[in-house]
Each structure stands twice: as structure tokens, then as C-alpha cells.
Structure 1
Amino acid sequence: MKWLAFILTLIIAFLSHHDENPSPYYIQHETDMKVTSLSKIRKQMIQEWREAYGVPFASEIER
């Protein structure tokens, strides 16, 4: 029974904390880029990944 209470406590704590704060990576990106739109942040993250791994934009269109 104690393990069930412990698991429920962890789930409740996670859900309540998750609702209050967005992901720390998004917070860092948001402050660095001075934007508020998560879609813009996502596009920037994809662009950074492409530059890091040398993936051209055309490869996505070909799929």
C-alpha cells in the first residue's frame, strides 16, 4: 500500500509541476531568441540541428 501512495504522490507532484512551468530548454531558447512562439522556437531548433549535422532542406522535401 505504501508503494501505491508513493507512486500516486509522484504522479501528482509531476503533473502539478508540469502545468506551472514549461520545459527548461524552451525557457532558455525563449530568452536567447527573444520570441514567445513555440513554433518559432521549434523551427529554430530544427535549423540548428540541420546546420550541426549538415542536412540540406531539400532532403526533407524529397521524402
Structure 2
Amino acid sequence: KRAKINTIILCEKNRKDIEEIEAHYVKGMAFHYVNEMKEVLDLAILDQKVKSPKKLEVPATPKS
């Protein structure tokens, strides 16, 4: 929550572990349980482009 992550994708086998967590700890979070990698991709990959992408700057590696 502190990291502003509110959507979590987990293996279906972890569902019982999440259900044991007290509700106030997971309030406002969305959990998606999957069995196959295709399900992860369907949830994680957006169909549309990000409106304001952040530019990634990679520092140049000094040559020796």
C-alpha cells in the first residue's frame, strides 16, 4: 500500500494465504488469481498506450 501498488497478480494456490490476512490490511487492493502465464499477460499488458510515459534515462557507461 505504501508503494501505491493496489493491483496484485498471484498464483491461484496463494488465494488461501491472502484470505487469512485481516481485511484492513488489504482494503483498497485488488487481487487477481491465475493458473497460467497467459492469464498474467492478459491482466498485465495494456491494450492502449500509456498517455504520459516516463522517459527512462540510462547513464552512459564510462569506457576504460
* TM-score (norm: length of structure 1): 0.24
Higher relative contact order (CA 8 A, sep 6+): 2
Comparing both structures, which one devotes a greater share of its residues to strand?
2
Larger Rg: 1
Comparing both structures, which one devotes a greater share of its residues to helix?
1
* TM-score (norm: length of structure 2): 0.23
